[in-house]
Amino acid sequence: MAEDKTMFVCSHCGYESAKWLGKCPSCGQWSTFKEIKVAADYGTAAAKQAALSVRQGKAGGVSDPRRNHPVKLHDISHEAEPRIDTHDEELNRVLGGGIVPGSIILLGGEPGIGKSTLTLQTILSMPERNILYVSGEESSHQIKMRADRLRPTSAQGETPRGEVFVLCETSLENIFAEIQEVHPELLIVDSIQTIATDTVDSSPGSITQVRECAAALLRFAKTSGVPVILIGHINKEGTLAGPKILEHIVDTVIQFEGDQHYMYRILRSIKNRFGSTSELGIYEMGQEGLRQVSNPSELLLTEDHEGLSGIAISSAIEGVRPFLVETQALVSTAAYGTPQRSATGFDQRRLNMLLAVLEKRVGFKLIQKDVFLNIAGGLRVTDMAMDLSVIAAVLSSNVDTPIEAGWCMAGEVGLSGEVRPISRVEQRISEAEKLGFTHMIIPAYNLKSIDKKKHKIQLHPVRKVEEALRFLFG
pLDDT digits (tens, 9 = 90+) for 244-253: 778 888 999 9
36: left (phi over 0), alpha (psi -120 to 50) or beta: beta
Give the pLDDT mean for 76-83: 74
**pLDDT for residue 65:** 47
Q: Which of 132-141, 149-158, 234-243, 289-298 has the highest mean pLDDT?
A: 132-141
Give the pLDDT mean for 42-64: 64
CA distances from 113 to 146, 245, 288, 313, 456 (A): 15, 24, 15, 28, 41
4 φ, ψ (degrees, to nearest 5) = -65, 145
**pLDDT for residue 303:** 62
Are the C-beta atoms of residues 227 and 103 closer than 8 Å to each other? yes
**pLDDT for residue 409:** 95
pLDDT of 152 > 70? The answer is no
HEC profile for 246-311?
HHHHCCEEEEEECCCCCCEEEEEEEEECCCCCCCEEEEEEECCEEEECCCHHHHHCCCCCCCCCCE
Give exposure, 30-52, as e/b (b: 16+ Cβ within 10 Å): eebbeebebeeebbbbbbbbbbb
Are the C-beta atoms of residues 471 and 462 closer than 8 Å to each other? yes
pTM for the model stands at 0.76
Pairing state between β 439-443 and 458-462: parallel
pLDDT of 156 > 60? The answer is no
Give the pLDDT mean for 454-473: 92
Q: Which of 159-168, 266-275, 285-294, 409-418 has the highest mean pLDDT?
A: 409-418
Task: Indicate the pLDDT class of residue 368, thresholds 50, 70 and 90.
Answer: confident
pLDDT of 28 > 60? The answer is yes
Task: Indicate the pLDDT class of residue 282, thresholds 50, 70 and 90.
Answer: confident
HEC profile for 337-388?
CCCCEEEECCCHHHHHHHHHHHHHHHCCCCCCEEEEEEECCCCCCCCHHHHH
